[in-house]
Amino acid sequence: MSPEDYKRQAAAAALEFVEPGMRLGLGTGSTAKYFVELLADRVRAGLDVLGVATSEATRADAERLGVPLTTLDETPELDLTIDGADEIAPDLALIKGGGGALLHEKIVAAASSRMIVIADESKWVALLGRFPLPVEVVSFGLAATRRAIGNAAAAVGAPGPITLRRTGDGHAFVTEGGHLILDAALTLRRALQGRTEFMMAHKLARGVRAADVGFSLAMSIGLASAQEPSPSAMALAKELIVLKGSTQLWDAVVPGVIEQAKGVYLQTNPALGKELSDVAAQLRSEYAPRASQLSDQVAQLYAKTFTEQELKDALAFYKTPLGKKIVNEEPKVLDDGFRRIQQWTNKFSEEVMNRMRAEMKKKGYDL
């Protein structure tokens, strides 16, 4: 069979999990496209489902083929999402987002009770990192964000060039969410070899707040340096991290890694769900103190980047009424701002699509 035949076969297998009345997340990419086509055949035969598209391309395909659509605003909870992948490792860790819809894909997947990833054998790799890792970021503070991502990657042993993705005509590539993509050509092999624990590379820096990294990646945790910060600098850095509320960025890492490991074993041992859940609960309690290692890692970066006096000045500021207000209110302001940006982007995208369709119709083409 050809590669396209394998993709269609994978899509057909996923279709077997779709039941009448389901609310479905419809993924983006060449394999997910086959799923939408096959789903449309079932809809024409009488299957009652609703879909939420992860991209304009998927939305256009679904509308053209007659698959009923809704939105996450109208249907915030989904039963199942079917999507593809760009790379899949032997432990089922994967990279997604090469096509530029990673934020939308992740939001839809997070709203779903279950997710099925479909892919043909060409997506299987011995080690993740065959192509640069896509990281979706907001345009504001791009240089600072790129630097923060580079520092975080280097800290876990995966340095590499990070470049802004551009289109063929040299313009910055814009994602489905209206953001930019930094392609990180990380040296993942050194970070992955000999690993003993999982770490989700999620929210590498606060600058990636409105977007996300397109993968779950196993990394060993360890930071080597020829010039370690002084104990007093480390103490100041740790205090600053706590004061700023930065620890919330990695609070979910340890339990998330345990859930990921459970999910890997559950794939091949579905009858052991209760036993695996019991072990996961035990490990969450046992490994909870390990989260402090992440704080130590970040504190080292702060202590190496800023002088002790600068850390003291920052601490003094965040203890003022204005500093405390920023810590308390900034997450709410950013969340509301990102929601408004997303709503505006969705409306503008629909306007542009309709306008383009109308202009093409004037030229005699029906899209």
Catalytic sites, residue numbers: 105
> Residue 328: how many CB atoms within 10 A of its CB?
10
Q: How far apart are CA 353 and CA 363, in angstroms?
A: 16
Residue 136, strand partner residues: 181
Nearest to 77 by CA among 35, 39, 108: 108
Q: How far apart are CA 172 and CA 180, in angstroms?
A: 7
Burial profile 94-113: b = 16 or more Cβ within 10 angstroms, e = fewer: bbbbbbbbbbbbbbbbebbe
Pairing of strands 112-117, 78-83: parallel
* Cβ contact 71:62 at 8 Å: no
Q: How far apart are CA 49 and CA 247, in angstroms?
A: 41
Say which residues have a Cβ less than 8 Å from residue 18's Cβ, sequence separation at least 6: 24, 39, 42, 47, 49, 80
Half-sphere exposure of 323 (CA within 13 A, CB side): 12
